[in-house]
Structure 1
Amino acid sequence: MVKNLAGEFRDFLLKQNALALAVGVVIGAAFGRIVSGLVDDFIMPIVGLVSPGGDWRQVKLGPFLVGDFAGRLLDFVIVAAVVFAIVKAFLREAKPAPAPTQTCPQCLEVLPAAATRCRACAQPVAGGPTALAR
């Protein structure tokens, strides 16, 4: 019974992508700490230099701590921008190569490389996979 339960659990981990999700959560948490460190240690000191004097995060409007909320909102925007920049830098998509073409010798129409007749003037062209743009 225990072996059967262990086998079912192993199947669950592999078939339902639970293991991949667990790895993603662990890596996501570590990545979150890196981004938070970047924001806290590098970006927020620059924001502190640019902002008006005093601790702006302690500003109150009546009983509400408006400065703290504004600071959290600013932290979120900065973290989101840093994550966006890092993800964009690492996940660049490769641009697909343009389809091979050839040019009609009569009318200079650009045709697919495999074309054997020009679609504009109906003249025969070399065609085939070796006919590339000149």
Structure 2
Amino acid sequence: MSLLAEFFEFLKEYKVVALAVAFIMGVAATALVKSFVDNLIMPIIGVLTPSGNWKEAVLPVGPINFGIGPFGAECINFIIIAIVVFMIAKVVMGEEKVEKK
């Protein structure tokens, strides 16, 4: 078997192309959710907080500034992405309960 034939067999057997497509769609979905959070959710939260733009908030501890605002924003991004992936898994798999197999 030639090296090229082995390579194509590898691509088919491990479904590398499908994995690449899923990865690219995941990156695009992440960008979409990040834009949703940054442009729609964060302005609402910013109005509700006393200081306004809490996404820039830092917690100074001595000479170190911990960026608690950006960390909070990324936590919100993660939660929304996790919910979206969960909902897609439920629809695509068509199961009542998503289980580990």
Q: TM-score, normalised by structure 2?
A: 0.71
Partner SS, residue 51 of structure 2: coil
**C-alpha contact 1:58 1:65 (8 A) present in aligned 2:** no
Matched residue, 2:63: 63
Identify the residue that residue 47 of structure 1 maps to in structure 2.
Answer: 45
Counterpart residue number, 1:37: 35
Q: Which runs of 5+ in 2 are unaligned?
A: 97-101
1:69-108 alignment to 2 at 5 Å?
A: 70-90=68-88, 91-92=90-91, 93-95=94-96
Q: CA deviation digits over 1:82-117, x for unaligned, max 9?
A: 12332343325444xxxxxxxxxxxxxxxxxxxxxx
Instruction: Return the letter of the residue paired with 1:17.
Output: K
Bigger radius of gyration, 1 or 2? Answer: 1
Q: In the comparison of the two structures, how many residue pairs are matched?
A: 91
Structure 1 segments, 4+ long, off by >4 Å, are 92-95
SS in 2 for 1:65: strand
Look up the equivalent residue of 1:5 and give its one-letter code: L
TM-score (norm 1): 0.56
Identity, in percent, stands at 31
Please, what is the CA RMSD of the aligned residues? 2.3
Structure showing greater relative contact order (alpha-carbon pairs closer than 8 Å, 6 or more residues apart): 2
SS of the equivalent of 2:2 reads helix
Shift of 1:13: 0.6
Q: Which residue of 2 aligns with 1:102?
A: none
